Amino acid sequence: MEQQLTPGAWDLRYERKAVALLGIGFGLVGLDRWIIAPLFPVMIEDLGLTYQDLGTITAFLAITWGLLAIITGSLSDRIGRRKVIIPAVIGFSMLAGLTGLAGGLGSLLAIRAIMGVFEGAFTPSANVATLEASRPSRRGLNMGIQQSGFALLGLGFGPIIATQLLGVLPSWRWVFVVVALPGLLVAYLLWRVLRDPAHIQSVAFADVPAQEAEPRRWREIFSYRNVLLGTVVLFGAFSCIFVISALVPTYLTDYIRLSITQMGFVTSAIGFGGTVGFILVPAISDRLGRKVAVGGAFVIAGLALVAFSFTGSSPILLFALLFIIAGCSFGAITTVATLVVPEAVPATLLASAAGIPIGLGEIFGGGIAPIIGGFVAQNYGIQNTLYVALFGLVVGFAITFLLKETAPSKIGEPQVHPAARPPVDVP
């Protein structure tokens, strides 16, 4: 059933439901992706794995995630968000559960690589669906809320959930089965709630001239400055956060000489700081502008990282600094990937443009940067891996101010006629 909208009305009810469900979905992406890390010490004994295997499994997932983010962004622009998002949620949830059936490294690599396919498909389409549901003045806040679930569930509560379930379930295999179940419920709710805009057209960008809305080949996307430069900015931010996530735990135990318990406390700051940053930085960008918010985030993260490198065995101070580094880095990532890039392209290229920077950032930040960090740690000392992360922040900051400003508060909020919006469902 459809409800008539009066001129100037906005479907706030749909906006809230869509953002909440897409945020929970992205939180499950983070949970299914990262829960393997706290379970790995137990899995090692059963499957005869090594720590090198964990790095390989992580890299395989990151690479397939990146590749599919690039490909399926374009697909979503052609066939709609629902036809990509809902199967993707079902797919990565089922693959998370199948992880519990793995019999060795080969099957783990295959399962996690395929899971990366579905998670990579979900990410750009969900980002754009959130933009399409959001009033322009709330884009940054809503994108931050939707993105924050990834850090909160995956890196914050994920280790707690894993260890608690491990204490009550008969095997680590059942943990993967249990964490897969919420995704199936979310897929059903998305099927009930989520809509495609008319003619696969973004309602939030309906002021784009008609000639700009014609389909384009994805190779043409890089003709838009923010796509090319935004990708480089994401290389820097992803490099920092993935190097930190992968190597700081070892840095804290081997170089700073913290205990395992202290290390766990400090590294949890990555998840909780990322959650705050996901929400705060995009929300600030709604008011101050995207470039100022992202540039400021890089500066603060860089200063905190320098201070972190000179901090001794003070868990509370290390936690606070890592909280800031993760918050600012994740905040910069979500602002650039989900706002700066999509806001700069025509409506029919939204998911395509969002997918390419995210995909390339995942491939480089999730695959190549930790390898570089590992090489530095092996040959020059674990403490020097922090310079790899710092270099990423410097590169990101340097490129940020070459971006084109896209915040509605700075360039003028587009006026969207209610007739251009998707129909409003009334239960």
* CATH no., domain 2-410: 1.20.1250.20
In this prediction, residue 72 carries a pLDDT of 79
Which among 58, 79, 57, 76 is positioned nearest to 68, based on CA atoms?
A: 76
For residue 3, the cross-strand partners are: 424
Dihedral sign computed on CA atoms, order 99, 169, 158, 133 = positive
Residues in the chain with pLDDT values less than 70: 1-10, 51-52, 55, 197-219, 260, 348, 412-427
Rounded to two decimals, the pTM is 0.74
Specify whether the CB–CB gap between 346 and 226 falls below 8 A: no
For residue 425, the cross-strand partners are: 2
Kindly report, residue by residue over 175-187, the tens digit of the pLDDT. Answer: 999 999 999 999 9
Domain ranges for the chain: 2-410
Report d(CA 301, CA 390) in Å as an integer: 9
Kindly report, residue by residue over 186-241, the tens digit of the pLDDT. Answer: 999 999 999 876 545 444 444 444 444 444 455 677 778 888 899 899 989 988 98
